Structure 1
Amino acid sequence: METTYTWPYGRQEISFTLPDERVKNCLTMAQMQPLADPIRAIREALLHPIDSAPLPELIDAGDKVAIIVNDTTRIAHTDIFLPVIVEMLNERGVADEDITILFALGMHRPMTDEEMISQITEDLFRRLRTVNAQARHDADYVNIGTTSYGTPVAFHKDALAADKLILTGSVVHHFFAGFGGGRKALFPGVAHRETIRHNHSLMLDPHAVIGEIKTNPIYLDQVEGCEMHRPTFLLNTVLNEKKEFIGVFAGDYITAHEKACELVDRMNGVEIPREYPIVIVTCGGYPKDINIYQSQKTMDNAVCAVQEGGVVILLAACPEGSGNSEFDATVRAYPSPKKIEAYVREDFQIGRHKAYAVTRLMKKADFYLLSEMPDDAARAALFTPVHSVKEALALAEQKLGPNADICLMPQGSYTVPRLVKKA
């Protein structure tokens, strides 16, 4: 018996057929019921927070308040929860002119006015002061210390000048910081470029892995930096694949975030009894597979399911190629995972770190890339280019044999496999 699968690919779909006896697992997200009334859940979270007094009790009349929110690259539904927060601040005697919205750009480009409006609503955009926290604008940053990891901590002056600092965002798995959300709104969200660069250099540590925060040096360094200017309050959302609210968590910026991480892990974490010779995975179509830079998250997840020396067949259209000029320059100058790692260790810079993040995965398994990229561009990025799943499977069988087991990952950018060996 055979089954035909149809998966998202770029702006369309792609179909392929596999023999049923070869497919040993199909990894999907846990289906969780979305919140029936997100606004009510937001209010409840703000008034009954985790390890914190309710938000209104933390605010005094006349306070200057800074609220850090996501930029346009990360969906949190800021436009839904931010009006609720601002309303509570107003009710406590905080005037609109004393509220600053800081967009957590990290190293991303500045937001346009139109993008800001889409994130925080036109009403709040007109009423409140909005600031792009641009990490390269040295004059906007103030150094407040150095972490035990050697990271110089400099945050945006508007975050430091506020009487009260509120972090917001969404929580997802992160390939080297463990999880997004929480402290990341402040650090790296509104941190100076050198603060970000040094922190991200810790990704070379073997403990800097997806889904881990307790021993993760990236996370621990970020928290240590945040403790130098401790945030007043946090609100984080957890969304499903359809971007519906699954959970709202508020309160202490560390422990409330940890609770959100637990929910994300229950939704996206998938236990597997063993690793598999062949993993076939899709990013989920556009925009998740717009380029290699974005597809890397899916690659990280797939590597958790593939066995050493196996094959990952990656369905990622990548119409924009790699998506990063520094990535291109790095892989062309240092055409092997080992050489790239040595280069990045010698001089860690944002941009080239993605070349390391992608190619380090190729130490465990071969990656066959089904994409719109020219073959020479795919090869330059150290992928084996293929033009169909059938072709990719034939190549994999030459390496692994005609009966090699297959694991499917139709939600590859979300599902995080976790190997659980039976006692």
Structure 2
Amino acid sequence: MNLKIEYGDGYININCEHPVDVRGMAGNPEAIALSGGIIDALENPINSPSLLEIGKQKIATNTDALAVIVVSDNTRPVPYRGEHGIMRYIIRTLLEAGFTQPQITIIIGAGSHRNMEANEIEVMLGLQESGLGEVKVTNHEYDNDDHLIYLGTTSRGSEVTVNRQYYEANLKIVTGLVESHFMAGASGGRKGICPGIVGIKTLKIFHGAKFLSSAKAADLVLEGNPLNDESLEVAQMAGCDFLVNTTLDADKRMTGVYTGDLVEAHQAAVQKIREYVVVPLEQHYDIVIIPAGFVGINHYQAGKAAIEAARAVKPGGQIIIIAKNTDTDPVGGKGYKQSLKLLAKHGKEEFLRMISDPQWEMIQEQWQVQMWSKVLTRIEQEDNLIYCALEIPDVEYEHLPGVPGWRLIDATDWQTLTDEQKIIRMTEAAIQRAIGSSNVSESSILLLKDGPYGIPEVAK
């Protein structure tokens, strides 16, 4: 078989001598008409006045009013840039309402992720090319007390601190992408605020071990999901005047723009993705192959692909992840690396016991390692995970779960190959190794072609 597998912003073609089931999202939604669909959504929001009306009202009250727009960072394929992106239409609506460019600030709500560089920001937003270069852009820093303001505590005991500039703004706009989320049920909506622009203290319960161990902390589950409930409570404390959320299909085409009320617009978007993101399966598989997709810019983010593969693999089965780690650090942040070392040293059972202790001082990004622990529990042996990527240095693999794909390669001509040839050879070797080490004479193999964006559901 010839398998077409997503890799970075393109695809690689893999040869496999064994039969492979290729499955993707069940639905095929229509893309919306651009840019008319964006303009229509801003003018006709859900349970809210239009953005233009809200903007005019704010300026009428205070001609020096300040507007903030919260955006996701570049780990999310939100269509911000250009003629077919949402950003220029949001800003142009604010300008029409009476705001000037210097009265508008974009806050990159990256949660605990690193700050974005100026060139990365321009690639993502395209402000200069759109003639919007006077609009200010700032990175939210979750661990910088000067950026934060204290709002009180949630009903679950979280100490709520949020971005001060956002909270004190006259007009608050939150944007984002609604897709299935393996912990919070769905991204977008309230998540633009929590965890997007909250402080480290607020994350202690939201991303703590207790919430993540809940059976309700899962894809497409909102009702009863403790992360959803906590995030929404924090977001409502911080306030939001207008939500702009988008949905995409498997090819990153925009399938909807949902604007207006923080809760109702988000719920409408979630209902939309429920129609098509599920990948129906009749069985679990011995071997599951999955690309890390757009989000898999580093090992930390690639964990999302691992979680989806774990939903489709048999207990004790094998998972192969193919990732193009384009981030400046292909592994992840300091806290993530620290947590991985603890997992490698103590094993998953002891690691989970440690972080569940009430006296445990949470390490930033330990939650992703907790999710890796769930994957390792499913596949039973760490060697049943193969991670195919070119960018992670050898020294970093000491503490990473699984087997690095390049260690399966025995090629004297390795240095003469292109990167595409290397990842192809690595992936083919990983598949052969998985088949060879399987205890099943006729191994069933699955390719989840949509990566972490398709949600496998096995018929009971």
TM (norm. structure 1) is: 0.87
Give yes or no for the alignment of 1:343 onto 2:354. Answer: yes
What secondary structure, in the 3-state scheme, does the structure 2 residue paired with 1:155 have? strand
Q: Residues 369 and 112 from structure 1, CA distance in 2 versus in 1: closer, same or farther, beyond 3 angstroms? A: closer
Q: Residues 410 and 126 from structure 1, CA distance in 2 versus in 1: closer, same or farther, beyond 3 angstroms? A: closer
Q: Which amino acid aligns with 1:369?
A: Y
- The residue that corresponds to 2:32 in the other structure is 35
Alignment of 1:181-196 (within 5 A): 181-196=188-203
Q: Residues 114 and 292 from structure 1, CA distance in 2 versus in 1: closer, same or farther, beyond 3 angstroms? A: closer
- The residue that corresponds to 2:14 in the other structure is 15
Q: Determine the C-alpha separation between the residues in 2 that align with 1:408 and 1:112.
A: 35
Q: Residues 158 and 358 from structure 1, CA distance in 2 versus in 1: closer, same or farther, beyond 3 angstroms? A: same
Q: Residues 297 and 192 from structure 1, CA distance in 2 versus in 1: closer, same or farther, beyond 3 angstroms? A: same
Q: Determine the C-alpha separation between the residues in 2 that align with 1:103 and 1:291.
A: 19
* Superimposed CA distance per residue, residues 75-119 of structure 1 (whole angstroms, 9 cap, x where no aligned partner): 322233222222222333334443332221212222333333331
Q: Which amino acid aligns with 1:70?
A: S
Contact 2:336 2:365 in 1 (8 A): yes
Contact 2:336 2:364 in 1 (8 A): no
- The residue that corresponds to 1:91 in the other structure is 96
What secondary structure, in the 3-state scheme, does the structure 1 residue paired with 2:317 have? strand
Displacement of 1:378 after TM fit?
A: 4.8
- The residue that corresponds to 2:67 in the other structure is 65
- The residue that corresponds to 1:261 in the other structure is 270
Q: Which amino acid aligns with 2:368?
A: K
Displacement of 1:16 after TM fit?
A: 2.9
Give yes or no for the alignment of 1:363 onto 2:374. Answer: no
Q: Which amino acid aligns with 1:151?
A: S
* Superimposed CA distance per residue, residues 324-355 of structure 1 (whole angstroms, 9 cap, x where no aligned partner): 44444433344322122223323322133322
Displacement of 1:275 after TM fit?
A: 2.2
Displacement of 1:290 after TM fit?
A: 4.7
Alignment of 1:86-125 (within 5 A): 86-118=91-123, 119-122=125-128, 125=132
* Superimposed CA distance per residue, residues 206-248 of structure 1 (whole angstroms, 9 cap, x where no aligned partner): 3212222212111110101111132111011112344322211
Q: Determine the C-alpha separation between the residues in 2 that align with 1:302 and 1:203.
A: 18
Q: Which amino acid aligns with 1:343?
A: M
> Structure 1 stretch 53-62 or stretch 149-158: which is displaced more?
53-62
Q: Residues 76 and 361 from structure 1, CA distance in 2 versus in 1: closer, same or farther, beyond 3 angstroms? A: same
Q: Which amino acid aligns with 1:165?
A: K
What secondary structure, in the 3-state scheme, does the structure 2 residue paired with 1:400 have? coil
Q: Percent identity?
A: 24
- The residue that corresponds to 1:418 in the other structure is 457
Contact 2:113 2:333 in 1 (8 A): no
- The residue that corresponds to 1:4 in the other structure is 2
Q: Determine the C-alpha separation between the residues in 1 that align with 2:115 and 2:330.
A: 23
* Structure 2: gaps spanning 5 or more residues: 409-425
Q: Which amino acid aligns with 1:134?
A: E
- The residue that corresponds to 1:225 in the other structure is 234
Contact 2:25 2:278 in 1 (8 A): no
- The residue that corresponds to 2:312 in the other structure is 305
* Superimposed CA distance per residue, residues 296-320 of structure 1 (whole angstroms, 9 cap, x where no aligned partner): 1111111111122322233346686
Aligned residues: 414
Q: Determine the C-alpha separation between the residues in 2 that align with 1:51 and 1:97.
A: 29
Choose the corresponding residue for 1:295, options 288, 293, 302.
Answer: 302
- The residue that corresponds to 1:45 in the other structure is 41
Give yes or no for the alignment of 1:400 onto 2:400. Answer: no
- The residue that corresponds to 1:55 in the other structure is 51
* Structure 1: gaps spanning 5 or more residues: none
* C-alpha RMSD of the superposition: 2.8
Alignment of 1:181-220 (within 5 A): 181-201=188-208, 202-220=211-229
Q: Determine the C-alpha separation between the residues in 2 that align with 1:300 and 1:51.
A: 35
Q: Determine the C-alpha separation between the residues in 1 that align with 2:11 and 2:103.
A: 47
Q: Residues 9 and 231 from structure 1, CA distance in 2 versus in 1: closer, same or farther, beyond 3 angstroms? A: closer
Q: Determine the C-alpha separation between the residues in 1 that align with 2:110 and 2:162.
A: 12
Q: Determine the C-alpha separation between the residues in 2 that align with 1:92 and 1:45.
A: 17
Give yes or no for the alignment of 1:245 onto 2:250. Answer: no
Q: Residues 325 and 314 from structure 1, CA distance in 2 versus in 1: closer, same or farther, beyond 3 angstroms? A: same
Displacement of 1:165 after TM fit?
A: 1.2
Q: Determine the C-alpha separation between the residues in 2 that align with 1:166 and 1:51.
A: 15
Contact 1:106 1:196 in 2 (8 A): no
Q: Determine the C-alpha separation between the residues in 2 that align with 1:341 and 1:248.
A: 39
Displacement of 1:180 after TM fit?
A: 1.3
TM (norm. structure 2) is: 0.81
Contact 1:102 1:131 in 2 (8 A): yes
**Higher fraction of strand:** 1
- The residue that corresponds to 1:270 in the other structure is 279
Q: Determine the C-alpha separation between the residues in 1 that align with 2:323 and 2:214.
A: 28
Contact 1:184 1:222 in 2 (8 A): yes
Q: Determine the C-alpha separation between the residues in 2 that align with 1:91 and 1:155.
A: 29
- The residue that corresponds to 2:423 in the other structure is none
Q: Residues 159 and 6 from structure 1, CA distance in 2 versus in 1: closer, same or farther, beyond 3 angstroms? A: closer
> Structure 1 stretch 228-237 or stretch 61-70: which is displaced more?
61-70
Displacement of 1:399 after TM fit?
A: 4.4
